[in-house]
Structure 1
Amino acid sequence: MIEEVLCAPHEVAESFGDPSAAVTLFPEEERGLAAAVPARRREFAAVRVCARAALARLGETAGPIPRGTRGAPVWPGATVGSMTHCLGYRAAVVARSADVRAVGVDAEPNLPLASERVRDLVTIHQERSWIAYLSAARPEVCWDRLVFSAKESVYKAWYPLTGLWLGFEEVRVDVDARARTFTAHVLRSGPSAGGRWPGPFRGSWTVRRGLLLTAVSVPGPAAARPLPGASRLNRPAVPARSIRPGSP
């Protein structure tokens, strides 16, 4: 699925299950799992199998990907990346920091948010009108959950750039249902260190196999010119690459 939302210069890997054999973690990764239950350990290890596979395609030697501040993964060398996991799915995306400043990816079950209260915490009033319209016109997509996922992807790209928390109410998402793209505007007030906040964030989304997947990418200095064949974020420019359960 992930190739539907991210293309070159990103490298990606995904799995629709956990590895059948035990995964050896680096000591730096083990430190964050002292109190983890077995299911959490399997999830943590499986998504790092994806991350190491994606990094290998960049030519990076396998190394630790520990959790840093606020749980954000610490990527090796001159790379950036993002990981996601939900029931039945794990994925990772990486890129050279010269090509991509930051990237965020998020997977969710294609199910409505748990309650109206949760929806009201996640969405703002400008989003609720088009969510209601699309929910009636395109009920096969859970649009409130899509907004949640898009904001999660935005935060994963935002935090490495700013080191700051970003609330759901501080982002407005506009969705193009036909093109399967979205634009996220940061509504946070106040100056940033560079004079303005990053954004708007432009991303893509897809829905398949009972899952929603969203991604955003912030181009780096080497990506000033569009790459051939990559004029749209959601147009795959690389062959599908998946990690099957139990593969290295």
Structure 2
Amino acid sequence: MPPSTRRADYRRYRELVTERPDWFVNGPDGIQILLEDADIRAAQRHIAKRNRAIGLPPASASVGVLSEDRYVVALRDAIRFPDGSLGTHNRVIYANPDGVAVLAVTAGRIVLIRIYRHPVRRWMLEIPRGTVEAGHSLEQTVHQEMAEEVGGAISRMVHMGRTTSDTSLCTGRVDLYFAEIDGVGKPQLSEGIGQILLVTPDEFMAMAERREIEDAYALAAFAQARIRGLV
């Protein structure tokens, strides 16, 4: 399949620079986002030349908005690395970057969900998680996700800190929680959840060792819970 020749939307990119200046903040160190037109053109020329050498069209170096909807905005920025070299870098900004992930336990067993994830096109074993909606607290979201995804009511909750997802690409982050619940109900089919599993902490570790559990949030939450002596 030939690569796309569609250019990024530079007009919309300039609008976002004005509308969302917080997305384009440069600190004193690190990778700098270039916002002057001349600098952007120079970065595009540099990357276009490199891309041509590997068979990619000039559009693959174009700076701008790659995609935008109510959930995510995908951008390609012109950047300057700390050594002074120019480049471009893609990033995905979530409209709402905050979420929660819950390591829930009932009767000494960890609650896992078997859920179909569209991006990877396969079933995954994960822990319940969800986005924090506007006006909702983290704790409210934990209660909501547990009720919706596994049908459990929480009797005890412990905040275990925060973790981020793919920091090389996107802005997603979740607060990790441990929760004791009174039981589980039926899986939330409308969210692609096909099964609820209950496993002991030892079984969880064995499944992780066999790579049956790959969900980074589940692994991070289990590690945090183990550090705190919760599982």
TM-score for both structures, normalised by structure 2: 0.25
- Pair member with larger Rg: 2
Instruction: Output the TM-score relative to the length of structure 1.
Output: 0.23
Higher strand share: 2
**Larger RCO: Structure 1 or Structure 2 (Cα < 8 Å, ≥ 6 residues apart)?**
1
